Every structure is written in structure tokens, then in C-alpha cells.
Structure 1
Amino acid sequence: EYGKLTDECGIYKGMKVEEARKKIIEDLNATNFIVKQEKTIQNVGIHERCKKPVEFISTDQWFIKVVDFKDKILEKSKDIKWVPDYMEKRFVDWAGNMDWDWVISRQRVFGTPIPFYYCEQCNKIIPAEISELPIDPTVAEKKCPDCGKILSPAGDVCDCWVDSSITPLIISKWLQDKEYFNKTYPSSLRPQGHEIIRTWAFYTIFRCLILTEQIPFDKILVNGMVFGPDGKKMSKSLGNVVEPNEIVVKYGADAVRQWACTFVPGSDTTLIMKDIDYGKRFITKLWNMAKFIEMNLQDYKHNENKEILTQLTPVDKWILAKLDEMIQNTDNALENFNFTIMKDLQNFVWHDVCDNYLELVKYRMYENINKESAQYTLDILLKNLMKLLAPFIPHITEEIEQNFNNESVHSKGGFPEKTGIDKIYLNVEKVVSVIEAIRKFKGDNKLKLSEEISEVKIYRKQDATEAKFIEECIIDIKKAGKVKEVEIFDGNFKVECER
């Protein structure tokens, strides 16, 4: 265990392996016992960190019998839903091909002591009493109940999975509170990495099943590993380790959480700093959006009267229909652990809300035109967006709620409910396309967005649903686009601008 040859090796006692090999060859040469000596190629196991050869030695170890239970484990584990589902095959392959028991002993300084003693006289293993647990046998001396001699303590500690494999039992107060246990066990979800399916997942299912006759959780969500910016596994020897705290200090926890939402369950991912930087910029955008809305709601009291719904403009109904779409999509995504929906939420906030809707209603705030319906819409938007985003970016959403509404977004509870706006108003998107075309024209012609242009010609099909909305939103196009005149013509949709 100290890397040196023992007494059994005679004159080579105390030497390290490489040293002994050289000495043995010297001695064999000195006595002319070597007939032939040549180089050969062989596979040598090396340590993953220091890259030095690993020498295997045979020692006595403690085991838990597992192989006899593998069929039961495989049968009962069929009730567990795996996300993604193909990860179940790793578990099945590992359990099905297992032909050795679980080595639970480790020769380390720290760990949970193995609570066993051994009587060398009687050749018997004697466990500590349940009432004595937890116990360190190397400290608590015991005598053999048969021969009366002092027992030899198990000086090893437990494999870490011995402790972690009963986490579902610990959190559900197994053997402590029966009523609580019956309510909380099995757990609904076990999130974990794919590299420990054969350890944490397997041993948890095994131990909990043997102790309770039930599987420990309903679902297993498997995540991948994070590679360094160079696309390789993070390693100190490669110098590509990025400490999480460094990123959090520089970009903020919510920016890192947004990047984490790009993970696809079960797949490895690479740390891309530009994605985290985008997350930070999104938080700034979200804060500015909330600040603008709050400033324009200072004279507003939320109106629950259904009459206000009749005053909403097509543009108001468009953004609320888009909001309903996001609520539904986010709900579905979270039910399926698809956290990449955060990308859609970012696009909705940045482009649909900030770039388009806010720009379309600013004039109504400043000129007091249909102001109340715009305020109603902004109020609904802000409240629901905070609830939608809270699971992903809890810190900034809490800050916004505390600053603007003196409430905690996390104490309100409940997922946002849809407004029920007719989906037909999603067709108002063509009005947004007109505004985007005007912006592009101004950019291409080096005009400021605030500069007025003389005319915009909009071509649309007469019988199309979009045609009605374009006609109803002429004032929005003029005001938001800074356009003198808007003309509408029959034809395939296109926008022509004149200075």
C-alpha cells in the first residue's frame, strides 16, 4: 500500500517496483540466467491525473451482495421514467452484465467507518448493535461475545455511495416519521449526471428497493458534463478548468443559469463565454423593460372590469396572444424538462416585447391615446413575464418584483394563466413586419429611427386576415414608424418606403 515491496520479496524488500525491476535484471544478468532480452509493447494502466503506471495489489475488502438481486432491480426499475429515455439502456446494460458484488470498503482517512468487528480467534464477523450507530470501531473497543477476546476493528471507511445511496430515505424521514415518509416517498425526481448511472443511480435503486420494497423515485433526469472552452473535459493538468465562482462574480448567477438552460438532457456541452455574456445583456434588457413599464404604470390601477378588454387594440391583443403562446410552450417544455425554452423566452422579451410592442405603444403613453388599454396590457405582460422567467432567472425577477411591486415573485405561487385572447390576433404579426421593414429602410439609408419619412406603401391580399389588421393599425404604423402617409394596395405582401 506504500508502493514498496514487502518482506515476502526478500532482498528486494523496501524497493519501489521500477527500482526492483532494474535490480532483478541486474541480478539475473550477473548469474547468466537471462537468455534473451528485448523491448515489447503492452497496455499499461495509468492514473488519469499523474499519468503514472498503476500497480494492482490484492487485499481483503468488504462487500455487499448485489448480484443475487439484479433481476429484481431490473424488473422494478422499469417503473422509473428516464429523461432522456435512451439513458435507461446504460442502466440496464450495467445491471444486466454485473457479475461481481459491491466493494464498499475504502482505505482512506475520511469517511463513514464500517461498523464491523472481526474475531480472529473465532473467525467471525461481528456487527455493531443498531443502538450503537454511528460508531467508529477503531475507537470503540468491543469483546467477542463467544470467546471474550478483544475484537479487531474494521479499519476501513465506506465507499461514498453507501451514504449517498440512501438520500431518498433520509429526506423522507424513513424510520423517523412514518406519516411524512408515506407522503414523500418515493421522491418525484432524481437529477444526476450520466457518468454516475452505474453508481449513484444503481446503488440508490438497489438499497432503497431492498429496504422498502419500493423504487426510490419516479423519474431520473440525466444531465451531461461541461467541457472547457477548448471543448475538452476540464482538467487541471490541461489548464482548462473554469471556476464557477469566477464566472458568477463577473456575469452574475442568472447569466450563468441562462447558459445552463442551453443543456439538452443527457448531452455534454461546452462552456461558451459569449452565451453567458448574452445572458448578462438580456438581464440588462429585462431590467430596462421593467423600468419603462413601471414608469408608465405609476398613474394606473389594474382594471378587472371586462369592459377594458373591448378597448384593447389589435397590437395589444397580438402581444397578449403571443404571451399566451409562450405560457403554453413554457408549461409544456418544463413538464418535459426542456429548459432550452429559455431561448424562446429571451427572444420573446427582447424582440416581441421590447423591440416591437413597446415601440408600437410608446406614442400612446406620451400622447394619451388609448393609454389605459396599453397600461392594462403592460401590467399583464410584466406580471406574467416575471412568473414565467422566475424558475430560470430567480434573482433578477425577484429584484424587479421587490423594486416595482414590493412583493416576492417566488411567494405568489402558481404558474401564470393564459389571458384567453383569440389566436387569430397572432396574425397582427404582419403589422410588426411593416414596422421592421421601415426600420430596415431607415438603416439602409442612414436615417435616424426618429426621422420621419414621407410615405409607406403596403401590399397585401384583400381577402387575407392580415389585411384587416393592417388597416386597423394604420395609426400605429404612422406613429411608431414616423411615417407621414400610409397607402394600402392589393397584392402579395411587401412594404415600399419613400423618403
Structure 2
Amino acid sequence: MSLGKYKPKKIEPKWADKWVKDKTYKWTEHKDPEKNYLIDVPPPYPYQDLHAGNFVNSTYQDIMARYKRMRGYSVLHPWGWDCHGLGAELYIQKNFNIFAEKAGVKRFREFCREHLLKNIENIRTNQAIPLGMSIDWDKQYWTMNPDYMKMVQESFIKMHGKDYVYRGKHPVTWCPSCHSAIAEAQMDRKEGKGKLHHIKLPIIGGRGITIATTRPELMAACVAVFVHPEDKRYKDLIGKKVKIPFTGQVVKIKGNEDADPEFGTGAVYHCTFGDKDDWRWVAEYDLPIRIILDESGRFTKKSGLLAGLSIKQGRERIVEELKKKDLYVKSEPVEQSIKVCERCKTPIEIIVKDQWYFATTKLKKEIKEAADKMKWMPSFMKARLTNWVDDALWDWVISRQRYWATPFPVWYCRECNEIIIADKKELPVDPVSVKKKCPKCGGDAKPEKDVMDTWMDSSITAIYVSNWLKNQRKDRLCELRDQGEDIIKTWAYYSIARCVAETGKPPFTEVLINGMLLGTDGKKMSKRRPKAAVYPQEIIDKYSVDVYRQWVGASNPGDAIQIDFKEMDHGKKFLNKLWNLGRFIERFKTKGKSKEEVSDEWIINSLNKVVKEATEFMEQGRWNNALKTVRDFAWHEFADYYIEMIKYRLYGDEVRTKNGAVKTTRKVLLAILKMLSPFTPFITEELYNELYKHESIHLSQWPRPGKVKKDLTGLGELMKEVISEGRQYKVNNQMSLGAELSEITITGPRELEKIKEVIAGTLRADKVKTKSGKELKIKIKK
């Protein structure tokens, strides 16, 4: 069959369907454990279609999967679905108007599952498969399925037995809008301008003290006033007592070296709780706790006149009342950095509540030791993790006050408060549907209604994936983790902590970090901002899947990625060039003996250099450098120079040199196709099957580099320079590139004698004369 016009819209669906039908990428465990290569894939949230940013990540891991297969590894490239979590709940509520509080938890969960199953198949069929992901679709997992939830609950029980999981009443970061605790890693910072309020507090038996605060509404929670012990303004006030307006509690003025004399008035009141430092000071100074905010972010009765008000309303009211009592001195603008919920951007509050925790702070040393053993691509990304580990002061709060998530396998005795953990034989279990008696006192038990943070599911994906191995490795679970930089402090951090604590093994040995894809507004692309999101189909409809994948491959791992239509245009032109190379080479066949010329030796030498460099770049996870190296070679060295150098032989009568050119051309093109195949799987598969073998290029071997000879490299540069001068001469003299020349005289190194025939044939010169000289000089006669 002759290659016709390049039609990606026809080629790409054909191969996408065939790969799935033939199970081309089906994984079989290798007998040698070291030859198995397991990818801990990032399971996407499937409650809505995936945008281009999701598939940047998927394409990165697919490039590695295809490359490793060609390097002789048995690659397990599964696909997971991270089904649970607040995102799915909010999507269901917003788009289907179904709420757990109204429909009932059971029906709400059923609807979530039904919707997700439907959309999972939509994503798989209409997004993942068409994009050419080399997945073994027999190796899928769903975090909402019983087998996965059983594993999560089993892990919880193991960690509880090792004292890595505990329940305690501590201050937690709380989102009033989501009505749930959130982990420290699930918060963002919002920069902006606020007000610094100067408030006079009366001192018992003395003059007042003016404090400065950005949170006047928390006055009812004040338990101390702090000043720097060396601040001359307040030194004599330390130990005196202040009576808080409106609520009347009496608190002491205390010396605290953390109090900044340069901030505001130099005096601050300490409330429970405004931020994380407040808890540290409570412990350090043995202070009482006053909670004045409820779970909805409204003031409780303890706040006095603010009871029932929102935070904003409370701030306005307290300022108004302070002014009436002549206790409000002034306000001044101040730059603020406040913590907000990562998902809904609501400012977080800190409340005291019984929660479940994972003791990540106990594992700091182990997490960093595991990270040190991993290969980070790019290398500087490791510091993002280790810095987060060093700075983490609180344990990971793993309980959520939501509905669509893995339940805790826990009950509490109503009589003696004994914590009752499920037996492993009961798993998976929803404690709400199972009645229990206390094994200690025989009393009735109540079920735990909180659910697990969704990261409790996804932080042990490496364990789930590694369980497909019959022969486990002693030093690791998986090989590769590919993920976005934005979830280093969550997915990478929690995964390493969980897997090391549970198995004693790191979850992976290589970490590839991709930068964030930026939306049309220049910000991180997100499902939460659909108007700024770009979906893969938009790019594919305009270009093709291979163009899309090339654009991803051309990005620099770790850097933010902008939608770049200029690169896509370049990628489209390159694929047309590659296809036309295939069409050209298809025309020539070999028969009989062959003879290689110097141009053949040069291009093979150049190919050896390219294979060596591209392989090194691929091993380092520097796709962009590998792709650029191969594309530049294919387009410029091979197509622009070598093909032009051999046309006189291809169309000539000398059979042996013609055969030599054809064989060399086919050899070089084959290597180019193989090196491009991880990036552009469709066009390379089509050309490989049409020009070489009727089997998958993706199951063939990666090219092996031969020795690079410096003398051939130098000869090649010499040939290119002379040919470029000859071409430019023809252009300047308004001659066609195929026009004949009568004579070319070249002055330069002795090696010119070796390339006379190539120069004459390429530039169509009747005579080529060479002279020895230090500088290269070219004289041309028409």
C-alpha cells in the first residue's frame, strides 16, 4: 500500500482502537523483578471531563512508559480513578441539586457512584483512549470500589496499631463554607489589604493599654495580652490585669519575646484561635481556651453581643460598639496574607474539635531519608518536599465532616467512650450500618460518622499498584511517580509518609514533576474555573493528537506550561515533513549489493550522536531536550542535508551506491521513528507498519548508539558548509537549486578530497577542484 496524503484524523482513531482491541500494552510480570517497571499513576477526579492540564500529566507518564518498554522493561501502566472527596460532592450538589442532608446519606452516595461510573467511561472512551495512552485497561482501580476501600480501612487499622493514627481534641483548621476540617496542605494564601485596629483595653487599677489587631471580632476569645519584655513602653505593665470589654474576662499582660515592638502599638491581645501561633502560645504559657466560633463560622453565646453574627458582621459590630465606649483609637491600612481553603477560597478559622490525625510529624526523618533515595526530575523539586516536611508543625488531620468518602471503621461506646476498631474480617464496613457492643463494658456503641480525607485513599495508590506483583521487591513498591508540583505537599508528602510507615518501603524510586498548565487567564488551569480551561479536544480538532503530545513533550519538566499555538504550528509542520520523508523513501527499493559513501558514514555517525544524547535526556526525564535533539536532526541534518546529498545517487544508474543510500536512509528513518514514538505514537506507528514491519513500533527496541567518530563529524560540517555556499550562490544568481554548475573550486583542509564527489553530485557541478589552504574559500562558475 502506497502512502498517500497525511490524514491524522483517520490514522489516529484507527490505531487508538486497535491498541485497545489487541491489548497491545497488556502487562505481563517479568521473571526478573528488576525488569518490572511500575508506574504509580496520578488518579484524576472523574466527576467531570478532564481538561488539558490533566492530560499534560498523563502524557508525561505515557512518554516514560513507552520509552521504558522499548528499553526492555515490562511496564505496568495502569489507570486509577480518585472518586471520593469534596469536589465530587460540590459538583453533584451544584449540577444535580442533590444534597445529602435532604436526600439522605445513602441515596446521596448512590447518586455519586452512579454519576461517576457513567463519567468514568465517558473519560476513558472519549478522552484517554483517543489521546493514545498506553494503558493496560485490565489494570484499572476505583477508590470508591469495595476492594480499594477495604485496603484503605485495613491501612488505617494497621497505622492505629502502630500509633501513627490517633484521635484527639485539638485545634484544627476549619473551612466554614465546606463545614469540614482541612489539612494544612489544603490551604492557600491570599494576599491583600486589611485594617489594623488600635483598641484601648482598660487595666484594672491603672491606665489602659492600646493593642493593635486585625481581628477585633475575636476579642471575646482573648486570654492574654502580650508585649515584648524589653519594650520600655510596657515593661512596668507586665503582670498587671486587663478587663476585656463586653465579655468581662480578666487576663494578664505577659512578656513574650515573639511580640514585635515595631508592629502596630507593640502590644497584641491573644485570642483562641486566630492562627497557628495562637495554639503554640496557649501551650507555652498554659493559657485557657475560649471558643467563640461555631462550625458555620458564626459567633456562639460566649461571644456576648456578637452571638449569631457572621465573622464580617461581628467585625463591623464590635468596631461600632468600641467607638461608642470611646475604646476605639484608630485604624490603619496593613498588608495581609491570610490562609484560605484551597477549594472554595473561604478564609479558614481554627476551632477545637475531636478529629482523627495521622502522625506525620513523627515521620519527618523517615520521609526525608526516603526522599533522598529517590531520583527527582527536575532535581530542585526535592527541596519543595523537604522544606515542607521541615516546616510542618501539625499532624495531618484525616477526618472530614462530609459524606462521599471512605468511612472510618470505628465506633465509640456510649457508656465508657471506648474506641472500637473493626475486625479486618468485617472490611470494608460502613459503621453506620453495623450495630456494635462495647467489648470493654458491654454498652451500646455509636458509629463514627466522619469520613476520611480523600488523600487517605490516594496516598496508598503505590501499595495498590504494587499488589499486582506476585514477586514483591524488598526496597520499593513502584518505580515512577509523575505528578504536578502543586501537590508535592499533599500527594507526594502523604504517600511517602503512609507507605514508609506501613510497609517500610518508599512508594517509588523516581519522581517526575510537571509544571502547572496555565489557563487562558494565565493562572493554573482548574476545573473550578472552567471558563479559563482548555480541553484536549479543542486542540485535537484544530491540529491532531500527535501535535498535542508533541507540544507537551516540548515543555520543560517543572516549569509552568502556557498554551503555545506557535509550538503546535511548528509541530504540525514537522509531522508533515516526517510523513513526506516516509513517502519519499517509500519510492526506493534495494536489490543486490550495496556500497556506502562518505555521506552515508557521516549521517550514521550523526545518528549515533543523536541516539546517545536523546537516550541520556530521556533517562533524566528531560523530554524537551530529547525531542528537540531528534526533531532538529530529522528536519535539518537528515532531510535538509543528507537527503539532498544522496538524490544524485538515488536517481543515478550506479546500483551499489544507490542501494547504499537507500539502506542508510531506511536505517536512519527507522531510528528517528523509534525515538519519536513516545511523543508521537500515531504517525510513527503508521509509518513503521507501512515501511517496515506489520507490528507495533512501541514493542520494538530503542535504538542503540554506535561509536561517534570526530573525523566524520568534521567531514559532515565541511560538506554542509560547502553545500550551503553553493545553494546560496544559486539563490543570489536567481538559479533553481537543481541548476547545473560548470565548476567549483574549494580551498581548505586536505579532507576536501574525500567529499568531492558528494559536492559535485549535490550541487550538480561538472567539475570540483580542491586546493590546500588554512581558510575555507569557495569559488563557483555557472
User: TM-score surpassing 0.5?
Assistant: yes
2:666 aligned residue: 379
Q: Within 5 Å, which residues of 2 pair with 1:19-418?
A: 19-23=313-317, 32-36=324-328, 38-42=330-334, 43=336, 45=338, 47=340, 53-173=347-467, 179-182=470-473, 185-228=476-519, 232-234=523-525, 240-297=532-589, 300=590, 308=594, 311-339=595-623, 340-369=625-654, 370-418=657-705
How far apart are residue 129 of structure 1 and its match?
A: 1.8
Q: 1:390·1:409 contact (CA, 8 Å) conserved in 2? A: no
Q: 1:82·1:221 contact (CA, 8 Å) conserved in 2? A: yes
Q: 2:407·2:430 contact (CA, 8 Å) conserved in 1? A: yes
1:454-480: CA deviation from partner (whole Å, max 9, x where unpaired)? 433322123xxx323223x2xx32332
Instruction: Compute the RMSD of aligned alpha carbons.
Output: 3.0
- What is the aligned counterpart of 1:479 among 742, 753, 761? 761
Distance in 2 between residues matched to 1:279 and 1:408, nearest whole Å: 26
- What is the aligned counterpart of 1:488 among 756, 760, 770? 770
Q: Secondary structure at the match of 1:488?
A: strand
Q: 2:613·2:629 contact (CA, 8 Å) conserved in 1? A: no
1:444 aligned residue: 732
Distance in 2 between residues matched to 1:318 and 1:44, nearest whole Å: 61
Q: 2:752·2:770 contact (CA, 8 Å) conserved in 1? A: no
Distance in 2 between residues matched to 1:115 and 1:283, nearest whole Å: 55
1:208-229: CA deviation from partner (whole Å, max 9, x where unpaired)? 1122222222222233223346
Distance in 2 between residues matched to 1:7 and 1:355, nearest whole Å: 81
1:182-209: CA deviation from partner (whole Å, max 9, x where unpaired)? 3894322222233322222222222211
How far apart are residue 34 of structure 1 and its match?
A: 4.8
Distance in 2 between residues matched to 1:496 and 1:138, nearest whole Å: 92
Q: Which runs of 5+ in 2 are unaligned?
A: 1-294
Q: Could you tell me which amino acid in structure 2 is paired with residue 217 of structure 1?
A: F
Q: Could you tell me which amino acid in structure 1 is paired with residue 610 of structure 2?
A: M
User: Against the structure 1 CA distance between its residues 134 and 445, is the aligned structure 2 distance closer, same or farther, given a 3 Å change threshold?
Assistant: farther
Q: Could you tell me which amino acid in structure 2 is paired with residue 268 of structure 1?
A: A
Distance in 2 between residues matched to 1:74 and 1:49, nearest whole Å: 28
How far apart are residue 135 of structure 1 and its match?
A: 2.0
User: Against the structure 1 CA distance between its residues 249 and 149, is the aligned structure 2 distance closer, same or farther, given a 3 Å change threshold?
Assistant: farther
Q: 1:227·1:271 contact (CA, 8 Å) conserved in 2? A: yes
Q: 2:677·2:698 contact (CA, 8 Å) conserved in 1? A: no
Q: 2:747·2:770 contact (CA, 8 Å) conserved in 1? A: yes
Q: Could you tell me which amino acid in structure 2 is paired with residue 496 of structure 1?
A: K
Q: Could you tell me which amino acid in structure 2 is paired with residue 398 of structure 1?
A: E
2:754 aligned residue: 469
Distance in 2 between residues matched to 1:50 and 1:64, nearest whole Å: 24
Q: 2:730·2:736 contact (CA, 8 Å) conserved in 1? A: yes
Q: Secondary structure at the match of 1:495?
A: strand
Distance in 2 between residues matched to 1:112 and 1:51, nearest whole Å: 25
Q: Secondary structure at the match of 1:59?
A: strand
User: Against the structure 1 CA distance between its residues 413 and 287, is the aligned structure 2 distance closer, same or farther, given a 3 Å change threshold?
Assistant: same
Q: 1:166·1:204 contact (CA, 8 Å) conserved in 2? A: yes
Q: 2:615·2:626 contact (CA, 8 Å) conserved in 1? A: no
User: Against the structure 1 CA distance between its residues 196 and 268, is the aligned structure 2 distance closer, same or farther, given a 3 Å change threshold?
Assistant: same
2:45 aligned residue: none
Distance in 2 between residues matched to 1:38 and 1:421, nearest whole Å: 77
Normalized per residue, the structure richer in strand is 2
Q: Give the TM-score normalised by the residue count of structure 2.
A: 0.56
Distance in 1 between residues matched to 2:467 and 2:407, nearest whole Å: 22
How far apart are residue 354 of structure 1 and its match?
A: 0.9
1:280-299: CA deviation from partner (whole Å, max 9, x where unpaired)? 211111111011111213xx
Distance in 2 between residues matched to 1:333 and 1:287, nearest whole Å: 25
2:157 aligned residue: none
Q: 2:753·2:770 contact (CA, 8 Å) conserved in 1? A: no
Q: Secondary structure at the match of 2:407?
A: coil
- What is the aligned counterpart of 1:432 among 712, 717, 720? 720
User: Against the structure 1 CA distance between its residues 37 and 489, is the aligned structure 2 distance closer, same or farther, given a 3 Å change threshold?
Assistant: same
Moved more, 320-329 or 82-91: 82-91
Moved more, 280-289 or 39-48: 39-48
Q: 1:317·1:421 contact (CA, 8 Å) conserved in 2? A: no
Q: 1:119·1:144 contact (CA, 8 Å) conserved in 2? A: yes
How far apart are residue 384 of structure 1 and its match?
A: 1.8
Q: 1:111·1:160 contact (CA, 8 Å) conserved in 2? A: yes
Percent of aligned positions with the same letter in both sequences? 36
User: Against the structure 1 CA distance between its residues 487 and 232, is the aligned structure 2 distance closer, same or farther, given a 3 Å change threshold?
Assistant: farther
Q: Secondary structure at the match of 2:472?
A: helix
Distance in 2 between residues matched to 1:51 and 1:198, nearest whole Å: 18
Q: 2:598·2:755 contact (CA, 8 Å) conserved in 1? A: no
Q: Give the TM-score normalised by the residue count of structure 1.
A: 0.85
Distance in 2 between residues matched to 1:6 and 1:50, nearest whole Å: 24
Distance in 2 between residues matched to 1:296 and 1:417, nearest whole Å: 25
Number of residues paired by the alignment? Answer: 480
How far apart are residue 44 of structure 1 and its match?
A: 6.2
Q: Could you tell me which amino acid in structure 2 is paired with residue 45 of structure 1?
A: I
- What is the aligned counterpart of 1:18 among 287, 312, 316? 312
Q: 1:428·1:469 contact (CA, 8 Å) conserved in 2? A: no
Distance in 2 between residues matched to 1:401 and 1:267, nearest whole Å: 33
Distance in 1 between residues matched to 2:399 and 2:612, nearest whole Å: 50
Distance in 1 between residues matched to 2:694 and 2:740, nearest whole Å: 42
Q: Could you tell me which amino acid in structure 2 is paired with residue 211 of structure 1?
A: E
Q: 1:172·1:184 contact (CA, 8 Å) conserved in 2? A: no
How far apart are residue 271 of structure 1 and its match?
A: 3.1
Q: 2:476·2:509 contact (CA, 8 Å) conserved in 1? A: no
Higher RCO by CA contacts (8 Å cutoff, separation 6 or greater): 2
User: Against the structure 1 CA distance between its residues 46 and 429, is the aligned structure 2 distance closer, same or farther, given a 3 Å change threshold?
Assistant: same
Distance in 2 between residues matched to 1:261 and 1:355, nearest whole Å: 23
Moved more, 287-296 or 205-214: 205-214
1:237-266: CA deviation from partner (whole Å, max 9, x where unpaired)? 696433333223322222222222333333
Q: Secondary structure at the match of 1:497?
A: strand
Q: Secondary structure at the match of 2:697?
A: coil
1:458 aligned residue: 746
